[in-house]
Amino acid sequence: MSEVTAHMDNNTVALNESHDSTAWLTRYTETMLNTFGRPQRVLVRGDGVHVWDADGRKYLDLLAGIAVNSLGHAHPTLTAAISAQLGTLGHVSNFFATPTQITLAHALLERAGVLGQGRVFFTNSGTEANEAAFKLARRTGRSRILALTGGFHGRSMGALALTHKEAYRSPFEPLPAGVEFIEFNNIDALTQAFADNGDDVAALICEPIQGEAGVKPLQASFLHLARELTTRHGALFILDEVQTGMGRTGYWFAHQNPELGAGITPDAMTLAKGLGSGFPIGALITFTEQASQLLGPGQHGTTFGGNPVAAAAGLATIGVIERDGLLVQVRNTGDALRERVRALNHPLISDVRGHGQLTAMEWTAPISARITEHALEHGIILNAVNPTATRLSPPLIITLDDLVPFFDFLAGLPAHFDKE
């Protein structure tokens, strides 16, 4: 094995050797903990909606780092904003504030419609935002928290306690106590959960669309009843918009989408993924004066959350989304994508669902992983979110012209792929 080192070259970090993918993957197994399994490819650069691997192959990126790269790869506005901020002031700790951090908090509250009564706590990720939401719920003085079957809220211990999937939970039990799961979209189960000592409920947390479960939206009737019951019993209603926020569904936040939770207002909301367009940042946003007062000085914290560089990335993301009219583009392109896929009438596809730039194709057999592998060989990055569903969460900047190779790929799939 040849040596690989890093050095400075023309004011950038450069690698001394240009390995191919096989060599890099060997290095990976020698150096990285095996928490993710073997990577599918080693990616070395990106531009817009495309990335390239270490062997020079080009891919259409319909995953966007799991709904993270809102503006695609190497967006000039984002790059300039991050560079300018880091060249001015990179980090100050939370003993101090910065104008960039305060401006981003203002921008988020304004778009959430709660400027003046809401507040923001910045984190580095979605799981940390949900950890903060968990502690916010505990500050009500109640310990009972309701979550939904199929829900995914992260893998740190508090967020994991809210996550339903047994395979994620069981190796790390006991988890923080007090979490009860009620069936996804089951009105009767929701009603019964509050009928049984409803005044003991600290919070109900749910995702407007369950991405990890296969892009499954909550019914508007469920969301409205959840708001009504939590209000009646003095519990917090917390929306996890880590994946669905920041324009992913064609609205700043999915609960503003008329087909999802139009008209409801949560007590708190968590964000991350698309907020920094690839730069790590998350947030817990409170919507009411009461929720905003639950956490006081010293009761929660973070070293990097609200870092001015991350805040600059968030402001650049918001600015480009507004400047380029991406919310409308996301709605139109997403609707057209699903219509085009349905129009194929492909015998392997049993359902196409989603909102904005968050889509799932349901297959007639458990072939999602094989389809994803097949797509990768054809230069398209997809996500096998479960055995029968494939998730698409492309950059918000994607156009129908960009998607032509994807439509051609689907049209070319054999009718009996599962029997190949």
Q: What is the DSSP string of 287-325?
A: -SHHHHTSS-TTSS--SSTT-HHHHHHHHHHHHHHHHTT
* Of the options 3.40.640.10, 1.10.150.80, 3.10.20.30, 3.30.565.10, the CATH number for the domain spanning 77-324: 3.40.640.10
Instruction: Share the mean pLDDT of the chain.
Output: 94
pLDDT tier at 9, thresholds 50, 70, 90: low
Position 417 scores a pLDDT of 74
Which alpha helices (H) appear in 114-207, and where do they start and end?
126-138, 157-162, 166-169, 187-195
**Cα separation of 145 and 124, whole Å?**
24
Q: Is the pLDDT of residue 2 over 50?
A: no
Position 1 scores a pLDDT of 38
pLDDT tier at 16, thresholds 50, 70, 90: low
**% of residues, the chain, pLDDT over 90:** 93
40-74+327-360+371-412: what fold? Aspartate Aminotransferase, domain 1 (3.90.1150)
Position 420 scores a pLDDT of 46
pLDDT in tens, 323-376: 999 999 999 999 999 999 999 999 999 999 999 999 999 999 999 999 999 999
pLDDT tier at 11, thresholds 50, 70, 90: low
- Segment 281-296 shows an average pLDDT of 96
Q: Is the pLDDT of residue 272 over 80?
A: yes
- The residue extents of the domains of the chain are 40-74+327-360+371-412, 77-324
Residues comprising the chain, all counted: 420
**Cα separation of 394 and 382, whole Å?**
9
pLDDT tier at 419, thresholds 50, 70, 90: very low
**% of residues, the chain, pLDDT over 70:** 95
